[in-house]
Amino acid sequence: MTFDRPAHPAMLDASMGGIATARIGVHTRVLMSENICQSCGACCSHSADWPRFGLETDSALALIPRAFIARNGMRCEGNRCSALDGIVGRHTTCRIYAVRPDVCRACEPGDDACNQARTAAGLEALDPSGGVTTPDAIS
């Protein structure tokens, strides 16, 4: 993937399908859209021990389809949550996003849990703003 140089280093180019870029010194700053999680999914496929219920009320749990619930949390197939569709690191979606448990809502792009899962999946860590800084390609 190549990135065009913006007219000014502080200017962003959002013409790349939801991904904005900015030239900063010798690095290109890739600022992910608000849907970065839909191109990742690492946290949902990192550990069968992670998606455990804790703070959910009985009424909140009742909204999650029984097919996705295990004894103490979300049902997993291996390390992957059964509600996750797609290919990790490319495009994923949660089949129960609107009613997902608190543990899933708590994981934010670039936080420690996110980056631990991304690293385990072979993906670059994010900074807390949800972006990745990558070296510029040498032309």
Measured CA distances, 80 to 28, 31, 95, 104, 127 (Å): 32, 27, 13, 13, 24
Q: What are the residue ranges spanned by the domains of the chain? A: 36-120
pLDDT of residue 14: 35
pLDDT of residue 39: 87
pLDDT of residue 68: 96
pLDDT along the chain (139 residues), means of 10: 36 36 42 68 92 90 95 93 96 95 91 94 84 47
